[in-house]
Structure 1
Amino acid sequence: MNKEHRLPSPIANPENKAFLEAAQNDQLVLKHCNACNQAHYYPRTICPHCGSNDTSWIKSEGLGEIYSYTVMRRGVEVPFAMAYVRLNEGISILTHLTNCDFDAIRVGQKVKVVFQETQDGQKTHLFEPV
């Protein structure tokens, strides 16, 4: 992703506040259900797998692989790439790809989390090739 492409800032709410705060410290955290022992994304209090509200935050190692991707070149000022990344924790996360040749992106490619400031100066997660 070109450094000129500035991401919009995520909208904070009580369920994602800790997630957004962790990003300010260059950490990716996920919600984990203590009842069914599964992680989930996007952060929310109620587990989407079993409906339990017994959830807690866990730190992600920030490693995974590209499951699917697209490169936007038409109708945008600066081309950018988005992908579903399957994290080593077993969940998929929708994200932008950065610091890579868009023509070299491949399904199965190993990636790691990095953090970049948004339009309003908040940090958010992106992924780059390992």
Structure 2
Amino acid sequence: MIEDEWWAATADRRLTVQRCRACGHAQHYPRELCTGCGGTDLEFTEVSGHGTVDSFTVVHRAPSPAFQAPYVLARVRLAEGPILLTHLTGPGPWACDEPVRVGWRPLPDGRHLPVFEKDA
């Protein structure tokens, strides 16, 4: 599957996005086609892990027992352009346009989930 390479990078705590070799467009989530030009010559490139909060919400009622409420669900625009749907961690309050940096939440299988915290 196309996203396997992305998840493999998280095992090493590396945040990657797809970049189109034809037009240079960066995108996330992984896809078969470039959303900029429709090309298929895509590669995964490591990004800085810095970004800004684009939008967020505090979830008070978890959708299942697997999630412990409250938690902050957010869209983070990476410095390189793509937007990630993620969790914000650490103390609030949160605000749109707040600078953030990637942190990592370990998963049971050795991969890590990218989460974001305030960037000092």
- For this structure pair, what is the TM-score category when the shorter chain's length is used for normalisation? 0.7 to 0.9
1:58 is matched with 45
Of residues 49, 57, 60 in structure 1, which corresponds to 2:36? 49
1:36 match: secondary structure: coil
Deviation per CA, 1:98-118: give whole Å up to 9, x if none. 1222xx100010000111023
Deviation per CA, 1:17-73: give whole Å up to 9, x if none. 111011110110110011111100001231122110011111010000001000001
1:124 is matched with 113
1: CA distance between counterparts of 2:88 and 2:109? Answer: 20
1:89 is matched with 80
- Stretch of structure 1 that moved more, 58-67 or 91-100: 91-100
In structure 2, stretches of 5+ residues that fail to align are none
| Higher RCO by CA contacts (8 Å cutoff, separation 6 or greater) | 1
Identical positions, percent: 32
State TM-score, norm by structure 2: 0.88
Q: Which runs of 4+ in 1 moved over 4 A?
A: none
For this pair of structures, how many residues does the alignment match? 115
1:11 is matched with none
Q: How far is the alpha carbon of 1:120 from its aligned partner? A: 5.2
2:103 match: secondary structure: strand
* RMSD between superposed Cα atoms in Å: 1.5
1: CA distance between counterparts of 2:62 and 2:15? Answer: 31
1: CA distance between counterparts of 2:96 and 2:46? Answer: 25
1: CA distance between counterparts of 2:102 and 2:109? Answer: 20
In the alignment, is residue 74 of structure 1 matched against residue 61 of structure 2?
yes
2: CA distance between counterparts of 1:119 and 1:79? Answer: 22
1: CA distance between counterparts of 2:103 and 2:32? Answer: 25
Q: One-letter code of the match for 1:22?
A: A
